[in-house]
């Protein structure tokens, strides 16, 4: 998705900002085992009487019908997932979509705040039932989990509005310091570019890796890094909420699908895909994206394991 940053129109939901910022990656390239915070939001789904919903709910494996599905999200990646005004509830596009999907499937969900790079290991160990945290669906990740695609995003660069370097592409990172969240595609891209710069006889890229997006933002605002990288809707939101401190620079690159991460062999991929198609057909999917100002990333053809690379 080429998400024009200027299309982000927030819904007026306040968030806690680190030096005027908050984000999360989940991040496109987002994120092996670690502690989970107690932050959750639970949604009790009301079974629908519609034929479509009844058919979808019938596909949910019986072991999940009597339990609350635990959905993990790294709540530092606004507007996709972040901590809401009350200081403990996880809000954003992914939590809203999780609740809507649960409604179609006639199950309950609890969205749990977790460090990004602990989510996929947590799915494999049975700690979580789903991961909805701006995960880019990649072929490498598909070796561990399955995905149902639901959004499209790329990566964007942001710098200080005053005195920040002009970065148009990854190649322009040579000789600069970059701040990224651990486990993300941004970390992989910046690290790979460091090698390319050195191979070309140029100065390398100093890559600083942080446990969450808030810390990565702080590194840029404090001058410890010259360039920040994040998923395009998140980078645009960071800039929007920075009170003029940051600006976007260059072009969005690496457009790829987000995927709902699902443990292999769970039987949940089929009903989740079917439920997502119901939400797309009845307009609820687009309404959720519009609420968070990221409707430009909407897709129309969700797939199971739809990675492009």
pTM: predicted TM-score of the whole model, two decimal places:
0.82
pLDDT digit string (tens) for 259-301?
999 999 999 999 999 999 999 999 999 999 999 999 999 999 9
- Name, in order, each residue with C-beta under 8 angstroms of 163's C-beta and a sequence gap of 6 or more: none
Q: List the domains of the chain with CATH numbers.
A: 5-153+257-297 (3.40.190.10), 154-255 (3.40.190.10)
CB count within 10 Å of CB 16 equals 14
40: helix, strand or coil: strand
Distance between CA 170 and CA 195 in Å, rounded? Answer: 12
- Residue 270, pLDDT score: 98
Q: Which of 304, 255, 302 is nearest to 279 (CA)?
A: 302
Q: Does 190 have pLDDT greater than 80? A: yes
295 vs 251, 284, 285, 299, CA distance in Å?
Answer: 19, 12, 9, 9
Instruction: Kindly state the DSSP code that residue 48 receives in the 8-state scheme.
Output: P
Q: Which of 94, 103, 121, 120 is nearest to 60 (CA)?
A: 103
pLDDT digit string (tens) for 223-259?
999 999 999 999 999 999 999 999 999 999 999 999 9
């Amino acid at each position: 998705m080429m998400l024009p940053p200027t299309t982000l129109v927030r819904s007026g939901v306040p968030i806690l900002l680190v030096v005027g910022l908050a984000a999360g990656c989940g991040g496109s390239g987002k994120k092996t085992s670690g502690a989970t915070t107690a932050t959750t939001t639970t949604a009790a789904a009301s079974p629908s009487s519609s034929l479509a919903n009844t058919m979808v709910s019938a596909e949910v494996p019986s072991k999940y019908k009597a339990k609350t599905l635990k959905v993990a999200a790294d709540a530092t990646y606004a507007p996709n997932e972040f901590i809401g005004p009350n200081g403990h509830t996880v809000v954003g596009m992914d939590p809203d979509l999780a609740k809507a999907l649960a409604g179609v499937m006639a199950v309950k969900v609890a969205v749990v705040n977790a460090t990004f790079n602990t989510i996929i290991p947590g799915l494999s160990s049975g700690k979580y039932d789903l991961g909805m945290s701006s995960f880019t669906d990649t072929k490498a990740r598909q070796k561990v989990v399955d995905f149902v695609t639901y959004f499209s995003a790329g990566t964007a660069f942001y710098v200080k509005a005053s005195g920040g370097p002009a970065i148009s592409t990854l190649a322009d990172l040579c000789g600069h310091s970059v701040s990224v969240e651990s486990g993300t595609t941004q970390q992989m891209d910046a690290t790979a570019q460091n090698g390319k710069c050195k191979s070309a006889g140029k100065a390398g890229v100093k890559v600083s890796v942080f446990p969450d997006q808030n810390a990565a933002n702080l590194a840029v605002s404090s001058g410890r890094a010259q360039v920040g990288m994040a998923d395009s809707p998140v980078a645009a939101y960071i800039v929007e909420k920075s009170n003029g401190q940051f600006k976007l620079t260059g072009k969005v690159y690496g457009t790829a699908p987000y995927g709902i991460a699902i443990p292999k062999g769970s039987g949940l991929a089929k009903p989740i895909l079917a439920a997502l198609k119901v939400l797309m057909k009845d307009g609820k999917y687009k309404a959720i994206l519009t609420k968070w100002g990221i409707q430009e990333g909407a897709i129309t053809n969700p797939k199971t394991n739809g990675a492009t690379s």
